């Protein structure tokens, strides 16, 4: 395989004793930093009704970060398409592509990015929209197609613009769909790694070339915590583990400073659940990150690795990106 690309996933996570404005500025600072390091892209994830995540208005945040950077690709990881009409998404991303030509990606997911009650509010009590994910993607592609000129409904801006579409997923369903439509596929192994191996095999085995993509393109999102020593990396990683424990126990809190041990240490049920959830997490120094991530990418035939960064301390967060770049770029 060719040299893999390295990218980042950003949720504008709010830290303890901070707020949304500071979280968004932290996301901008991170984007500018990894752009200088040579990261390929940064994606923003759509989440709702989560008080400690500031990326709910995903397209707005994409525009903000694209405006504060100059070369790095910026996109959605992802837009949860069942929450929106394809026409609105085509117009939003057509507008972004018009402002920042050649830099905008559109990653699309099927999940709501929230709880069921909030999903009902987003979808105006129609939870069946998720069943039309494939149809909505095809409709969205039509709005962006330059040959849509004779249609009665058209997207302006949007029509005729080259906004790459990626299918996001954490299951075999999404792998089959990405393969069928001939689109690049991004797998969310950073929180749902269980079906990664199956999804990779399905995507490669069933891929059909399309006008968008001649051969498979597979991305995997993982968690990477890099530091100058193994001990420091392990210490910094407790912020990530504690955050996921909060998600699993429905005791969500802002991203918090690291602790000597994970807060759930000694509770086997939570320990096992967190370990399963974050099994695709790489913690260590430049040399170990290089060896382990490259072996992982080779095993799963990934063209690109996207990493989260849930490090609490601002300086250590940027230093982790430096180490990742030295290891993998």
* Euclidean distance between CA atoms 184 and 192, whole angstroms: 19
Segment 301-319, tens digit of pLDDT:
999 999 999 999 999 999 9
CATH of the domain at 36: 3.20.20.30
* Euclidean distance between CA atoms 251 and 3, whole angstroms: 40
Segment 145-172, tens digit of pLDDT:
999 999 999 999 999 999 999 999 999 9
DSSP string, 70-87: SSSEEEEEEEEGGGS-HH
Segment 205-234, tens digit of pLDDT:
999 999 999 999 999 999 999 999 999 999
Nearest by Cα to 134 from 179, 78, 170, 93: 179
* Euclidean distance between CA atoms 144 and 156, whole angstroms: 9
Q: Does the predicted model carry a pTM greater than 0.85?
A: yes
The whole-chain average pLDDT of the chain stands at: 96
Residue 86 in domain? yes
Tell me what the mean pLDDT of segment 292-299 comes to.
97
Residue 238 in domain? no
* Euclidean distance between CA atoms 100 and 63, whole angstroms: 8
Segment 66-125, tens digit of pLDDT:
999 999 999 999 999 999 999 999 999 999 999 999 999 999 999 888 888 998 898 888
For the cut 70, the answer to whether the pLDDT of residue 140 exceeds it is: yes
* Euclidean distance between CA atoms 153 and 260, whole angstroms: 58
* Euclidean distance between CA atoms 163 and 75, whole angstroms: 10
Tokens of 303: 């063209």
Query: Could you tell me how many helices (H) and strands (E) the chain has, helices first?
Result: 12, 9
* Euclidean distance between CA atoms 15 and 311, whole angstroms: 10
Residue 246 in domain? no
pLDDT score at 129: 84
Nearest by Cα to 23 from 322, 309, 320: 309
Residue 33 in domain? yes
pLDDT score at 115: 87
Residue 250 in domain? no
Residue 252 in domain? no
Segment 9-30, tens digit of pLDDT:
999 999 999 999 999 999 999 9
For the cut 70, the answer to whether the pLDDT of residue 40 exceeds it is: yes
* Euclidean distance between CA atoms 84 and 67, whole angstroms: 24
Percent over 70 (pLDDT), the chain: 99
Residue 251 in domain? no
Tokens of 142: 């039509």
Tell me how many domains the chain contains.
Answer: 1
Nearest by Cα to 183 from 141, 237, 143: 141
Q: Is the dihedral of CA 16, 51, 190, 220 positive or negative?
A: negative
Residue 229 in domain? no
For the cut 80, the answer to whether the pLDDT of residue 1 exceeds it is: no
Residue range(s) defining the domain that contains residue 298: 5-224+281-328
The 3-state DSSP composition of the chain as helix, strand, coil percent (nearest 5) reads 45, 15, 35
Contact 317/237 with Cβ under 8 angstroms? no
pLDDT score at 113: 83
Long-range contacts of the stretch 212-216 (C-beta < 8 A, 24+):
212/164, 212/165, 212/181, 212/182, 212/183, 213/182, 213/183, 213/184, 216/179, 216/184, 216/185
pLDDT band at 2 (very low <50, low <70, confident <90, very high): low
DSSP 3-state of 182: coil
């Amino acid at each position: 395989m060719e040299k893999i690309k390295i990218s980042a996933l950003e949720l504008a996570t709010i830290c303890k004793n901070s707020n949304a404005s500071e979280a968004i500025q932290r996301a901008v600072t991170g984007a500018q930093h990894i752009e200088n390091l040579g990261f390929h892209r940064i994606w923003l994830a759509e989440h709702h009704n989560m008080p400690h995540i500031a990326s709910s208005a995903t397209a707005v945040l994409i525009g903000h970060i694209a405006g504060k950077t100059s070369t790095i690709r910026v996109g959605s990881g992802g837009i949860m398409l069942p929450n929106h009409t394809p026409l609105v998404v085509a117009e939003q991303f057509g507008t972004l592509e018009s402002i920042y030509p050649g830099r905008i990606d559109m990653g699309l997911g099927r999940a709501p990015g929230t709880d069921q009650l909030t999903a009902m509010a987003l979808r105006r009590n129609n939870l069946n929209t998720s069943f039309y994910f494939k149809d909505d993607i095809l409709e969205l592609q039509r709005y962006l197609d330059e040959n849509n000129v004779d249609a009665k409904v058209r997207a302006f801006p949007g029509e005729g613009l080259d906004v790459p579409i990626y299918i996001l997923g954490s299951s075999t369903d999404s792998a089959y769909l990405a393969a069928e439509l001939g689109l690049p596929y991004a797998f969310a192994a950073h929180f749902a790694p269980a079906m990664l191996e199956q999804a990779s095999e399905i995507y490669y085995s069933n891929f059909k070339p399309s006008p968008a993509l001649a051969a498979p393109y597979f991305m995997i999102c993982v968690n990477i915590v890099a530091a100058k020593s193994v001990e420091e990396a392990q210490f910094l990683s407790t912020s990530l583990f504690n955050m996921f424990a909060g998600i699993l126990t429905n005791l969500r809190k802002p991203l918090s400073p690291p602790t000597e041990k994970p807060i759930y240490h000694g509770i086997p049920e939570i320990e096992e659940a967190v370990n399963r959830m974050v099994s695709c997490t790489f913690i260590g120094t430049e040399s170990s990150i290089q060896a382990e991530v490259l072996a992982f990418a080779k095993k799963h035939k990934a063209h690109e690795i996207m990493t989260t960064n849930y490090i609490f301390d601002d300086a250590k967060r940027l230093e982790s990106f430096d180490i990742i770049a030295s290891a993998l770029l």
